[in-house]
Amino acid sequence: MRFSISGKVMVIYGSIFIAIIFLTFGLSYFGTVGRLEQDLKNTHIALLKQIDDKMEIVFRTTERDLLNLSQELEYVYFMYDSYDDPSQKYANFFGLSNKIKTIVHANEQFSSVFVYSHVSGDVMTDKTFLQRNESQENWLADYIDMDGYSKWITTHKVWDGANEQDAVTLIRPYPLISSPGYRKGLVAVNIGEDVLYSMINDVYEGGRQSGHTFIIDDKGSIVTHDDKSQLYKSLNDVPYIKRILGSEGSGHFTAKTDGAKLSVFYTTSDYTGWRIVSVIPQTQLYQPLESVRNLMLAIAGVMVVLALSVLFYVNRRTFKPLDRLAGKMSGAFRPAQPGQAGGLGYLETVFDQMFTDRELLEKHVRDSKPVLKWRIVMDMLTGYRTDYAAVSRQLEFTGVRFYPEMFVVCTAEFAREDGISPKDETLYAYALCNVAEEVINMENAGVAVDLGSGSAAIIFSFAEGDEEQNHLRALAILEHILDIMKRQFGLLVTAGVGRCYRDMKDIPKSYDESQRALEYRMVIGSHSVISVEDLIGTDNQDYYRIIKMTDRIVDALRQTEHGKLNDYVSLLFQEAVGGGLPPELIRQLSYELVMKSLQAVAATGIDTEETLAGMGNLHEKINRCNNWQEAERIVLDVLGQMAKKVEDKRMQRGSNKAIEKMLAYIEEHYAESDFSLDRLADNFELSPTYISKLFKEHTEKNFIDYLIEIRINASKELLADKNRKINDIAEGVGYTNTRSFLRAFKKYTGMTPTEYRDWVLASKAAPE
C-alpha cells in the first residue's frame, strides 16, 4: 500500500488544529483589546511628546538666535552705553534695530525682541526705542537679578511699542554667563501664545478628539490653552493637576470630575519643566474599542465555521502538495534506506541536508568579511558612507576599530629595489596593510586596504588631540611603518598624507589631498612621507608666526618648568609688541594661550571649571588691561596657578619605577632611528597596549609625542653649535629623513632649525 502523508496529518493533527483555533481566538480577544487600549494611551502620550519636541526645537532656535545677537558689536555697545559721540550712538542704534528686525522677520515664531541696557536704562525693540524716562513699564528690569543664566516666563501681556499681545518670553542676561551684580543688561524674545498653541494643532493636524489640550508651568499656571478664557488662570487647586505637578516624566491616569470619568495624559518637558496635558472623557476615548470587540467576536464565529469546513472538506486537498514534494525529493536525493523515499523520515533527512547547506553559507559569509571590509572602506573614501553611527556596526562586524572623529588618510605606493612581479604584488600589499593596522592600533585606531596596482589606502582615527597634533602623529607612525617595511620586506614605500579632519564626512577630502601629495614623489623621491602641508606655502604673517610660539609654553607648563615658562611667555609678548601687533590681537593672543593651557591642564585630569572659578573673570581682566605688561602679568599669574595644580596632581599620583626605567631607557636610545613602541615593549617584556596606557597615565603624553619631544629638545642643544650641519643633527637625534625632522621641529617650536640657531646665537651674542 502506498504511503500517504496527507492521511496521517488529517488524523493526527485535525483535532489539535480545531483546539488551537479556539485557544488562539480566545487569547486574541483579550490580548487585542488590552493591547489596543494600551496603544491608544501610548499614542496620546506620544503626541504630547511630539508637541514637546516641536516646542523644544523652536525654543533652542530662540536660544541660538539670542547667542548670535549677543556677539554683535552694536549689541555690546548698546549694553555698555559706550559711545564716543552722539553720531556714533545713533548709528549704533540704527544698526542694532536693523539686526533685531532681521531676527524677527527671519523667525515667524517671534512676535518681538527686546534689548534692555541696565547701564543706560534704555529699551530697544524691533518696533520702537524707549529711553530711561520713557520706559515707565519696563518689566524687563525686574529680572536683572534673576537666578541662573536664562529664564522662560509663562504667558503674560507684552507691549512691543505698537501692539499688546499674550506672549511667552525667553530672557538671557549680558554677559551671557554672569551673576547678579555683574550684568549689563538683558535680551528677551517674545513668542505669541497663539503661535505656541498652533504647535499643538500642527501635531494633531486638526483631527483632535473632543477634550482639552493645554500647557501649565511648574506652579500650575496656564501657559497656553485651547479655551482662551483660561489664560492667566491657575489650576493648582484642581485635584488631577496637583497629581501632575507632583509627578515627573510622562504618564496617564483616570480622574473623576463632576461625576464624569476623564482620562488624563501628561508629559514633562526636560527643557522648560512645563507640563503638557491632555484631558479626554473616557466615553469618547474608548469608543473605537467597542467596535473592535464586536468585530472580533464576529470574526471568531466566522473562523470557527471556516475551520470546520477546512478540516472536514478541504483537508485532503490541502496536504496533497506534501505527497508531491516527497515524490520529487525521491528523485533529487537518494534515500538512506530502501522504502524510505516519500515518507516523513525521508523528509527529515532532506531538511538536515538543508541545515548543513545553511551552515556552509554562514561560513561563506565569514570568509567574505575581507571583501566587505574593503567595500566599506572604499565607500568611506569616496564619500558614500559619511555617518559614523550608521557604519560603526558594519565596521565592528569586519573587525575594524574606529573612533567617532579625527581622521587622517594616507595613500601609499610600494616597490622593491629589484622590482615586484605581478603575482607577488597582492602579497606585499597584504603585508603592508597588516603592518600598518598593527602599528596604528597599538595606541590609536585605523584600517588599511589594498587599492590594487601596488598601492594601499590607510585611514587613521584618533581618540584625542587637535587636528594639527594628530596630523603630526600620523606622520610619525607612517615613518615607523616605512622603516619596518624596508627592514623586513625590502619594500620602498612612499606615502602621501592628507590633513586631519574632525568628521567622517571629510574623509574624501583627506583622501584627495593624500593622492595629490603622493604625486610629488617625483620631486621629493621614493621611500618618504609627503604631507599635503609640505606643498602649501607658509603664512608669514606675524600673528600666525607668533601663535606657534605658544606650543612650547604649553609644553613647559606640562613639565612645570617655571623658569622656562616665564622666559617663553616674556619672549612671546616681546615678539608680539616688536612685531607691531595691535592691542586687540595681543588680547586675543593672551586668550589663545590661556585656552590652550587649560586644554593641556584638562588632559592631566584637573577640573578646568574649578580652575577657572578660582581665577576670576579672566576675560574681563584681560579686556581691562591698559598695556601689554599688565596682560603679560595676568597670563603669567594664571599659568603659574595652573602649574601649581599640575604639580599637586602629580604629587598625589606618586611615582612608578617601571615608567622611570622606561624613561631612562628612552633617554639612552632615542637617537636610534629604529627605536619604537614595539622595541620598548620587547625590552621590558610587556605588551605595547599596556605600555601605552601606563605611559599616558604617568607622563600625560602618548609614546610618540614624548619621543618626538625628547628628540626635538636634544636637537636644540646641538643647534647651539653653528658648525654642525642640519642633516647631521637630524640623524644624531634619530631621524633618517631630514625633511621629517624639519617638519617636526617647526611644529613644536614655531621656528625652523636655522631660525632657532640664529635666535640662540643672537641671544648669546647680546650684551648682558
Residues 355, 15: contact at Cβ < 8 Å?
no
Select the more confidently predicted residue: 518 or 620: 518
Please tell me which residue, 619 or 690, carries the higher pLDDT value. Answer: 690
Name beta bridge partners: 253. Answer: 264
β-strands 123-125, 110-117 pairing: antiparallel
Q: Which CATH number fits domain 383-534: 1.10.8.100, 3.40.50.170, 3.30.470.20, 3.30.70.270?
A: 3.30.70.270
**Tens digit of each residue's pLDDT (9 = 90 or more) over 656-672:** 677 888 888 888 888 88
Look at residue 407 and tell me whether its pLDDT is greater than 70. yes
Helices (H), 114-249: 193-204, 239-245
Select from 226, 222, 252, 249 the least CA-distant residue to 237.
Answer: 222
Q: Three cell numbers at 690?
A: 599596556
**The pLDDT of residue 147 is above 70:** yes
What's the pLDDT at 289? 59
Most confident range (mean pLDDT) of 303-307, 369-373, 394-398, 470-474 is 470-474
Is 80 exceeded by the pLDDT of residue 205?
A: no
* Most confident of the following: 58-62, 309-313, 583-587, 719-723: 719-723
536 or 378, greater pLDDT? 378
Domain 51-281 in this protein, CATH class: alpha beta
For the chain, the domains span 51-281, 383-534, 540-647, 670-765
Instruction: Give residue-wise pLDDT tens across range 564-580.
Output: 888 888 888 888 777 76
- b/e 359-368 (16+ beta carbons within 10 angstroms → b): eeeeeeeeee
Other beta carbons less than 10 A from residue 656's beta carbon: 15
Q: Tell me what pLDDT residue 313 has.
A: 61
The DSSP code sequence of 635-691 is HHHHHHHHHHHHHHHHHHH---HHHHHHHHHHHHHTTSTT--HHHHHHHHT--HHHH
**% of residues, the chain, pLDDT over 90:** 4
Confidence of residue 763 (pLDDT cuts 50, 70, 90): confident
Of the candidate CATH numbers 1.10.645.10, 1.10.10.60, 2.30.30.40, 2.40.50.180, the domain formed by 670-765 belongs to 1.10.10.60
Mean local confidence (pLDDT), 186-196: 83
Mind listing the pLDDT tens digit for each residue in 33-65? 667 677 777 877 888 788 888 887 887 888 788
Q: Nearest to residue 408, comparing CAs of 350, 481, 459?
A: 459
> How does residue 362 score in pLDDT terms, banded at 50, 70 and 90?
low
Query: Could you tell me which residues come within 8 angstroms of residue 663 by beta carbon, excluding any fewer than 6 positions away?
Result: 699
Average pLDDT of span 629-658: 76
Burial bucket for residue 530 (CB in 10 Å: 0-12, 13-18, 19+): buried
* DSSP class per residue in 598-646: HHHHHTTT--HHHHHHHH--HHHHHHT-SSHHHHHHHHHHHHHHHHHHH
Residue 46: phi and psi, rounded to 5, are -60, -40
Buried b (16+ CB within 10 A) or exposed e, 582-602: eeebbbebbeebbebbbebbe
CA–CA gap between residue 462 and residue 483 (Å, rounded):
22
In the predicted model, what is the mean pLDDT of residues 530-550? 68
Write the pLDDT tens digit of every residue in 410-465. 999 887 656 677 667 888 888 889 999 899 888 889 999 988 888 899 999 998 88
pLDDT, position 509: 92
Residue 499's pLDDT is 92
Would you say 618 and 594 are in contact if contact means Cβ atoms under 8 Å apart? yes
Phi, psi of 408, deg, nearest 5: -130, 135
Question: How far apart are the C-alpha atoms of 717 and 743, rounded to whole Å?
Answer: 18
324 pLDDT more than 80: no
Higher pLDDT, 240 or 134: 240
175 preceded by a cis bond (ω within 30 of 0)? yes
CB-based contact 568:552 (threshold 8 Å) = yes
User: What's the chain's average pLDDT?
Assistant: 78
Range from 66-80, 134-148, 658-672 carrying the lowest mean pLDDT: 134-148
Q: What is the pTM of this model?
A: 0.42
What average pLDDT does this structure show over 161-170?
80
Residue 344 pLDDT grade (very low, low, confident, very high; cuts 50, 70, 90): low
